[in-house]
Amino acid sequence: MAYKHISIPTSGEKITIKNGKLHVPDEPIVGYVEGDGIGPDITKASLRVWDTAVEQAYGGKRKIHWCELYMGEKAATIYDGNYFPQETLDALKDLIVSIKGPLTTPVGGGFRSLNVALRQELDLYACVRPVRYYAGVPSPMRHPEKVDAVIFRENTEDVYSGIEFKSGTPENRKVAKFLREEMGANFFEDAGLGIKPVSAFGTKRLVRKAIQYAIDQGRESVTLVHKGNIMKFTEGAFRNWGYELAREEFPEQTITEDQLYSVYGGVRPEGKIIIKDRIADIIFQLMQLRPEEFDILATLNLNGDYLSDSVAAEVGGVGIAPGANIADFVAVFEATHGTAPKYANLDKVNPSSLLLSGVMMLEYMGWKEAADLINAAFPKVVADKTVTYDFARQMEGATEVSTSGFGDCLIAKIKGHATDLVQEEEHRRAILEEERKELEAQRVADPTQAMEESGRIPQTVGAIMHPVIIVKPDELVSICMQKMREQNRHAVLVEPDPSNDKWGIMTQRDVVKKIISANRSPTRVRVGEIASRPVLMVPRGTTLLDASSRMVEANIRRIVVESDGLPVGIFSDTDLFRTVEEFGWGSDI
Ligand code: NAP
């Protein structure tokens, strides 16, 4: 492709797509747009850091060949007043992977914003925002280090589609009339109106990307965030299509959270990704209280907009948060802040947002070792308190350095301590892994409690059952009583015996009725004699509604959960009560 002002480096090769995967040569050509205002300062500093990390990680075997592309004010000077040249768009597609600084929105340029135009032109439908903590960064949280999530926000649909009708206009009146007269809708006079389109296509391509990312990066779960309890056909549909996509396209790599409890007893099978969902408002709370439970979050446009900034604030990173907008393959990584024009060309601001977007870019290219080096060097520099003005004003005893000075400090760390830095990054990941294992142990020990705390809404009996105590029929009642007390259980299951091939149950009530009030000794009676048989058994996947109906019909208080004919758990009316009290029921949820 011939370009007028862009010169594609003659050394280096283009990134391509082969067999549906990104193919990155050892010396790829990567595009960059330096951006307006503070853009040139932060770009210059970051380019040096990225190059050093690549050089150190691969000992010169890999190298990025940078290709400058133009947008914004610099483009306007080169392309005769055009802020958004077609050839830049062509090059972004052609090179596939690029990174950009912030851009000023030209006044009267006919754009809502250059960034929005870019997303629309390249159909960059996934806005990806990783949020993790770097030691030393000022944060309002007690344990910000537990946050390590990546938010995939749908970028093209939802209430951001721009289908709005201003109050008092003829268009508004026309739509209002249609809604009232033909659809039976009821709303106040003169309401402004907006439409919220959410499609299966838009949802599935976003969720597909989130799941693929989780697979590629060895993550544990993908959470579908929605407000489906209220907006069933948009937000609820997002959740349903998300699960459907996982079932249809990733059946081998994923399990649902429901299966995690009902089939796997709370233990994640090695390598499987758990697909779960959470109500949007609850996720804000959970990301503060139990962030270690969440990994990849897939959200609609509006929810994701709020959530990305809120979670970034937890790690002190609104000003340094990295980001990217990605299509099927074409990806534009970018600083998430603006052009801060008052600091332009002062070599003063913090380059971290762009710098860490570059880390994402390296990961996207599969160059994890280079990304790890920067990830590990960054907290070291912050811990030394050699930081730009914005951090310096929040830290006691900090030494303020310039944008380029901050880059120099990073480069020195990367060059001086490459091996240690990689080990430290691995250590950080191992700690997070440990925390997730602890959560797993909690899920196994007390699933209902684990669900309560993790905001999950249980749907099946497998999700609310407790582990069972199984005893032989010739066991003494006194021994069983001791086991029940020690393990805080109200019942034991009694194995079938030769005279009776049915499983039995002995509850606390049986002991009161058949031993104590009958004035018998628990040290003389065998449990098989007083057990009630048969017990009602249902499969793990039985819904709570079906289970409660069975309980009422049979006039019993406990049901045993089976798998392949063997009891694996038990639940009582108390568990059902507690579940509904905690999570709501029917139209409440
Ligand atoms: P802004 O450029 O993000 O700046 C707001 C304030 O945030 C700055 O005054 C500064 O705070 C702080 N800040 C931003 N970047 C920083 C950095 N790298 N290091 C340290 N502090 C930083 O937001 P704005 O003033 O609302 O917008 C300015 C222009 O940027 C507008 O034309 C807007 O359209 C554009 N914009 C572009 C993008 C984009 O291209 N992605 C995004 C947002 C805005 P203090 O003053 O407290 O030091």
Beta bridge partners of 554: none
Give the DSSP per-residue string, 393-415: TTSTTPEE--HHHHHHHHHHHHH
Lowest model confidence (mean pLDDT) among 130-134, 191-195, 491-495 = 130-134
Phi, psi of 39, deg, nearest 5: -50, -50
Element containing residue 75 per DSSP (H, E): helix 73-78
Give the pLDDT mean for 137-162: 89
The predicted pLDDT at position 589 comes to: 44
Take atom 40 of ligand 1 and give the residue whose Cα is closest: 102
Element containing residue 130 per DSSP (H, E): strand 126-132
Residues 6 or more apart whose Cβ sits within 8 Å of residue 458: 261, 448, 451, 464, 544, 579, 583
> Angle, nearest 10°, between helix axes 39-58 and 352-364?
40
Neighbours of 149 (CB within 10 A): 25
Q: Are 371 and 378 in contact (CB under 8 A)?
A: no
Residue 227 designated active-site: yes
Instruction: Indicate the top mutation candidate among 124, 127, 305, 339 to test ligand 1's pocket, ranked by most ligand atoms within 8 A of CB.
Output: 339
Question: How does pLDDT run across 496-530, given as a tens digit for each residue?
Answer: 988 878 899 999 999 999 999 999 999 999 999 99
Cα separation, 579 vs 589, in Å, equals 12
Cα separation, 12 vs 547, in Å, equals 64
Closest CA to 150 of 132, 124, 126: 132
Mean pLDDT of the chain: 90
CA 338 to centroid of ligand 1, rounded, Å: 3
Give the DSSP per-residue string, 148-161: EEEEEEE-S-GGGG
Rg (CA), the chain: 29
Angstrom distances, CA of residue 228 to CA of 39, 235, 300, 587: 40, 5, 11, 11
CA 337 to centroid of ligand 1, rounded, Å: 5
Q: Which residue is it, tokens 């497998």?
A: 462
Neighbours of 82 (CB within 10 A): 17
Q: Is there an atom of ligand 1 within 6 Å of 39 CB?
A: no
Q: Is residue 267 predicted with pLDDT exceeding 50? A: yes
The predicted pLDDT at position 568 comes to: 87
N- to C-terminal Cα distance for the chain? 55
Q: Which pLDDT band holds residue 357 (cuts at 50, 70, 90)?
A: very high
Q: Which two tokens stand for residue 260?
A: 């995690």
Q: Are 559 and 547 in contact (CB under 8 A)?
A: yes
CA 350 to centroid of ligand 1, rounded, Å: 11
Give the pLDDT mean for 285-293: 91
Catalytic residue among 258, 305, 347, 575: 305
Instruction: Indicate the top mutation candidate among 332, 337, 389 to test ligand 1's pocket, ranked by most ligand atoms within 8 A of CB.
Output: 337
Angstrom distances, CA of residue 38 to CA of 34, 41, 343, 354: 9, 5, 6, 11
Question: How does pLDDT run across 211-221, given as a tens digit for each residue?
Answer: 999 998 889 99
Q: Is there an atom of ligand 1 within 6 Å of 340 CB?
A: yes
Neighbours of 462 (CB within 10 A): 27
Q: Which pLDDT band holds residue 418 (cuts at 50, 70, 90)?
A: low
Q: Is there an atom of ligand 1 within 6 Å of 350 CB?
A: yes
Q: Is there an atom of ligand 1 within 6 Å of 374 CB?
A: no
Cα separation, 361 vs 364, in Å, equals 5
CA 340 to centroid of ligand 1, rounded, Å: 4
Q: Is there an atom of ligand 1 within 6 Å of 402 CB?
A: no
The dihedral region occupied by 3, where left means phi > 0, alpha psi between -120 and 50, and beta the remainder, is beta
Residue 281 designated active-site: yes
Q: Are 300 and 156 in contact (CB under 8 A)?
A: no
CA 151 to centroid of ligand 1, rounded, Å: 22
Q: Are 403 and 347 in contact (CB under 8 A)?
A: yes
Give the pLDDT mean for 82-91: 94
Q: Is residue 438 predicted with pLDDT exceeding 90? A: no
Parallel, antiparallel or unpaired: strands 221-226 and 273-279: parallel
Catalytic residue among 123, 281, 420, 474: 281
Cα separation, 441 vs 460, in Å, equals 20
Q: Which two tokens stand for residue 292?
A: 């270690």
**What secondary structure letter does DSSP report for 340?**
-
Q: Are 506 and 530 in contact (CB under 8 A)?
A: yes
Q: Is there an atom of ligand 1 within 6 Å of 104 CB?
A: yes
Q: Is there an atom of ligand 1 within 6 Å of 338 CB?
A: yes
By the 10 Å C-beta count (0-12 exposed, 13-18 middle, 19+ buried), 522 is classed as: middle
Give the pLDDT mean for 537-551: 91
CA 165 to centroid of ligand 1, rounded, Å: 31
Catalytic residue among 74, 146, 227, 380: 227
Element containing residue 504 per DSSP (H, E): strand 504-507
The predicted pLDDT at position 586 comes to: 63
Cα separation, 400 vs 393, in Å, equals 9
Catalytic residue among 3, 51, 58, 160: 160
pTM beyond 0.75: yes
How long is the chain?
A: 589
